[in-house]
Amino acid sequence: MNFKRFLTILLVSCFVFAVALPMTGRALDEICLIAVNDTLDPLTLAYTSGTTVYVPVSIFTSYDVGVTYKYYESDGTARLYSLTSTQALYFTTTGTYDQLNNNYDLLAVYRNGTIYLPVNLVCNFFPGLSWSYIFGDDYGDVVRIKTSAVILDDWGFVNAGQSLLERYYKNLTNTQPQPSVSPTTPSLPTVGSRSMQITLGFTGLPNDTILRKLSGNGITACFYLTADQVLADPDTVRRIVCEGHSLGVNCGENVESFDETAALIYEAAMVKTLFFTCEDDDAAAIAVQEIGLSYKSYNLNVDPAYGWTYYNSLLGNFTTRCALLIPCEGADRFVTSMIQDLTGADYRVVKLIEQ
């Protein structure tokens, strides 16, 4: 079962307020999950400061909510704009304004490599968006962003799965403490001259062509391996590390295979890894929260049979970032053209980091 769909039936109980903050009578929880319509985002948390809730800009661009985002490095401005009108919000290091130059008090926050936006400002500004803050009873809160596509009301969303939310919150508090946020001194990132961030992942052992092409162009990737692959070619495993790439475990359908393969990777290359891929989203989410592993969700799973031109055309569907997972078998046929495109002016390939 898809983990996001599974968490759609999540309960978040007790008191529901469908109005914008500020709210009185209850304090905001340090653990605040994020939902879009009837889907709970399983690996993303909101930040709160006082009565202001901040959510990652990726929430607005990863879901179909009618807005998208662009960062202008030349003047350090982040723009969130409507896909159907001329409405836009501009976030700078010193202020926030709209397309008519009206100013707003709330600022963007840049934390841990991610831009966070005040959810109440965004949802109150763009028509068709609304939001609510749902208080959990001693097990975390949820900020819920809604469009006309929403099905469940807050009460129905609340009563869908209390026991699962309690367990989810317990895992988060055990493994993921909430950092503080200071919205008074935001700093937007310098992302370089290219607008979209690309993360590359490969499954299987790379051949010499793939490694030479990546290293020759200063591109790093994460290679996910099985235990058999590590045992079959430890020299290539060591070469991957020496050339600056990351290693992860390809768990397939069995996340329990992580420990064995991670131990073999350490034995071969003297590096520890928390990265893994898994075909079971439910098991992956549990591993992230209960074991503390790092799971990367990839936007495009590349099939070499379709060629790079096809997948290059799909990149136009993304605005700020895209992660590609590519099997090494057959990738040498298009790795040259892929690298040529990804090193162009529109993209910036970034290294996978633990989350």
**Which backbone phi and psi does 107 adopt, to 5 degrees?**
-115, 165
Q: What are 252-290's pLDDT values in tens digits?
A: 877 888 889 999 999 998 888 888 888 776 776 777 766
Output the six-digit token pair for 256: 């329990």
Q: Over the stretch 118-167, which tens digit does the pLDDT of each residue have?
A: 999 999 999 999 999 888 766 668 888 999 988 878 777 766 645 556 66
Confidence of residue 299 (pLDDT cuts 50, 70, 90): confident
Quick one: pLDDT at residue 311?
84
pLDDT of residue 173: 65
Q: What's the pLDDT score for residue 29?
A: 52
CA dist., res. 240 & res. 351, Å (int): 14
pLDDT at 97 over 60: yes
Q: Residue 164: how many CB atoms within 10 A of its CB?
A: 15
pLDDT of residue 159: 66
User: What pLDDT, on a 0 to 100 scale, did the predictor assign at position 14?
Assistant: 31
Domain(s) of CATH 3.20.20.370: residues in the chain: 196-349
Q: Is the pTM of this model over 0.75?
A: no
pLDDT above 80: residue 11: no
User: Is 90 exceeded by the pLDDT of residue 100?
Assistant: yes
Structure-token pair, residue 97? 């304004």
**Residue 58: pLDDT over 50:** yes
**pLDDT 10s digits, 174-213:** 644 444 344 433 344 433 334 688 889 999 999 998 998 8
CATH of domain 3-175: 3.30.457.10
pLDDT averaged over every residue in the chain: 77
pLDDT at 333 over 50: yes
pLDDT in the model for residue 113: 74
- Portion of the chain with pLDDT greater than 90, in percent: 22
Calpha distance 222→276 (Å, rounded): 10
pLDDT higher at 184 or 320: 320
User: Cβ contacts of residue 191 below 8 Å, gap of 6+?
Assistant: 71, 73, 197, 348
- C-alpha 83/C-alpha 4 separation (Å) is 25
How many whole angstroms separate alpha carbon 117 and alpha carbon 120?
Answer: 9
Range(s) within the chain of domains with CATH label 3.30.457.10 = 3-175
Q: Which of 2-6, 110-114, 264-268 has the lowest mean pLDDT?
A: 2-6
Residue 31 has pLDDT above 80, yes or no: no
Alpha helices in 73-161 (DSSP H): 119-125, 154-158
Q: Does domain 196-349 bear CATH number 3.20.20.370?
A: yes
Residue 217 is predicted with a pLDDT of 85
Residue 291: pLDDT over 70: no
How far is Cα 319 from Cα 296, in angstroms, rounded to an integer?
Answer: 18
Instruction: Say whether the peptide bond before residue 22 is cis (omega within 30 degrees of 0).
Output: yes
- Tens-place pLDDT, residues 42-53: 667 888 887 789
| The predicted structure's pLDDT at residue 32 | 80
How high is the pLDDT of residue 276? 85
Q: What is the mean pLDDT of residues 60-70?
A: 87
* Residue burial 206-221, b: 16+ Cβ < 10 Å; e: rest: beeebbebbeeeebbb
